[in-house]
Amino acid sequence: MKPYSINRKQDALWHLISVGILTGQHRPNNWSPDAICKPARVAMIDTSVAMDHPNLREAIRRDLAFDLFSTRLGAFPGLLEQKQIGDLGFGDAQALVAGLPGCKALLAELMARLAPDQPPKQGTLQPAASPVFSGHGTAIAGLIGARPARVPYAQAHITGPEDGQLPLPYCGADPTCEIVPISTNFDADPEQMILAFLYADLVNPDVIVLPRGIEDPFRAEPQLHAIDFLGQPLGELIAPCPIPDAQRELWSELAELILKISHRRPVICAAGNAHEEFGIYPANLASDDNGVISVGALNAKGWPSSYSPEEGLTVWAPSSDAEQFDSGEVRLNPERLLEIGHGVPPVNDNHKYSAFGIISTDVPGPGGYAATPFDTPEPQDGIREYGSYFCDFGGTSAACAIVAGFMALGRGLGQIPADADGIAAKAWLLSKCQPVRPDLPNVMVPHLHGEAFVRGEPDQP
C-alpha cells in the first residue's frame, strides 16, 4: 500500500461520487434503481471473472460467459453442468462481416458452435476460467456493475451485525446492469480477438468494454511498419517471426470489424498506462465518426494520472496515479520526499500526485491482487475476512470500466435511447462531460448530471 498520512482516509467509492453516480452518503445521486426499465448489458472482453464473488453474483450473466482462452471456438464456463447450451438468444452479425472474408468464415464457424444443441465445452477440453487467476476481470466487472451484498461471516474471526450477515457496501457504476464476461488469452492472435468481438456483438450488448490493448503488429504504436528502414518496413525487419499474409489480412479485418461494431454500439477502450502518444490500439481508433471511446485516467485531485496518454482521447475518468520522475514530469508523492532525498527539482508537479487508488472487487481467497491471510479453504460458516474480496486497482483499465458502467447506467435509465447507435451513445457521453479544469479544456470528464468533476482528494499544493 502506498504510504498514507496516519489520519488520512479514502472513501472507497470516491470515484462514483466524482462522476455524479453516488452522493457522499453513497446513495444514488438523483436517480433510482427503480427507474431502470431494462438492465443494460455490458460485454466485457478481458480475463475471466470470479463469478461467485458476493458482490458480482447477481451481475454476471453466467449462461452467456464465454471463454476463448483455451478453446478456439469458445466454451461456456457457467454452463458446464448442462449437456447443451440451449437457445441463448444470440443476435445477427452477418451485416458486420460483409466485405470481410476472414471474419465471415469465422462467424460461420462460431454460429455453428453456438447452435442450441452444442455442448458447453468440447469433450475433455475445459475452459480456462478458474476464479483464482481472474484478478483483472474481477476488478473490471466490479467497477462496472457490482451490487451491495450481505454474506454470512465466521463470528470467530469477524465482529459484525448480530444477524450473522456481513454487509459488503460496495457497488459498481451501474449496479443494475448485467455483465457478459468474454475471456481471452494474450497471444498476438487476430482470430481470437475477431471471435471475441463477434461473440460480443452477438449477445446484443449496450456497451462493449475492452480494458486492455491488442498487440496488432501493424497498429500498435508506434506503427513500425510505417517506418522505412534499409528499404523495408522496420516492423518486418524486427519481427521475431514473419507474419503470414493470411494473418496480416485478419489483423486488418479485425480493425475494420471493431469500427463496424462501434457504429452499432459503443466500444470503450483503455488508452494505455505508459503515456503512449495517442493511446494504445485499439483505443487509438477513436474518432468523431465512430463509436470507439478511448478513456484516459484522472487522479482523485482531478489531474490526468501521470501514466495516462493525453492526445486523442475521448474522455477521462477517475483512477489511480503513479509517481513520475523523468524529463517529462516530476510528480512524486510528497510524503516520500525525505525518502527520495536528492535530485528533486524545486519546480515540480508533486502537488498533482494523489495516493488514492480505485477500490474494486477481487478474487476471494488466495488469488487476485489481495490475498487472504488464511491458507485453508473458507469454512462453511462464512467468510473470515473481507480484505481479499477487494483490491486497490487502477490504470486506464479502471477508468474505462467506470465509463462502461456509466454508459450502462445511462442506457438503463433511458437517457441513451434504445435505438441509439454507437455514435449516438458516444454523443450522449460527451454531452455529460465537462473540462476537469479551466486550464485543461481537452480533459473532459463525465458526470451523470453534466456537472463538474467532484474531486475525491482536495488539492494541497
Q: Name the residue among 297, 314, 313 with its Cα closest to residue 393.
A: 297
CB of 346 to other proteins, least distance (A): 24
Query: Which lies closer to other proteins via its Cβ, residue 256 or residue 335?
Result: 335
CB of 326 to other proteins, least distance (A): 11
Give the 3-state secondary structure of residue 317: strand
C-alpha distances in Å from residue 375, one per residue of 305, 389, 435: 36, 15, 48
The letter for the amino acid at 86 is G
Report whether 239 contacts 217 (CB < 8 A).
yes
CB of 1 to other proteins, least distance (A): 6
CB of 133 to other proteins, least distance (A): 4
Query: Which lies closer to other proteins via its Cβ, residue 116 or residue 387?
Result: 387
CB of 113 to other proteins, least distance (A): 13
Query: Which lies closer to other proteins via its Cβ, residue 66 or residue 100?
Result: 66
Query: Which lies closer to other proteins via its Cβ, residue 161 or residue 441?
Result: 161
Report whether 450 contacts 22 (CB < 8 A).
no
Cα torsion 248, 252, 257, 263 to 10°: value is 170
d(CA 264, CA 91): 12
Report whether 298 contacts 400 (CB < 8 A).
no
CB of 98 to other proteins, least distance (A): 30
CB of 94 to other proteins, least distance (A): 28
Largest Cα span, the chain? 75
CB of 265 to other proteins, least distance (A): 24
Query: Which lies closer to other proteins via its Cβ, residue 53 or residue 212?
Result: 212
Burial class (CB in 10 A: 0-12, 13-18, 19+), 161: exposed
CB of 263 to other proteins, least distance (A): 28
Q: Name the residue among 243, 234, 294 with its Cα closest to residue 270.
A: 294
Query: Which lies closer to other proteins via its Cβ, residue 62 or residue 263?
Result: 62
d(CA 346, CA 337): 12
Grid cell for residue 193: 480477438
9 conformational bin, left if phi > 0, alpha if psi -120 to 50, beta if neither: beta
Task: Return the HEC string of 188-234.
Answer: CCHHHHHHHHHHHHHCCCCEEEECCCCCCCCCCCCCHHHCEECCEEH
Query: Which lies closer to other proteins via its Cβ, residue 186 or residue 229?
Result: 186
Q: Name the residue among 303, 295, 294, 279 with its Cα closest to residue 355.
A: 303
- DSSP H or E segment with residue 112: helix 101-113
Query: Which lies closer to other proteins via its Cβ, residue 225 or residue 265?
Result: 225
Query: Which lies closer to other proteins via its Cβ, residue 158 or residue 440?
Result: 158
CB of 337 to other proteins, least distance (A): 18
Query: Which lies closer to other proteins via its Cβ, residue 310 or residue 421?
Result: 310
Query: Which lies closer to other proteins via its Cβ, residue 27 or residue 83?
Result: 27
CB of 424 to other proteins, least distance (A): 27
C-alpha distances in Å from residue 366, one per residue of 75, 129, 230, 261, 389: 25, 16, 51, 38, 10
d(CA 298, CA 17): 14
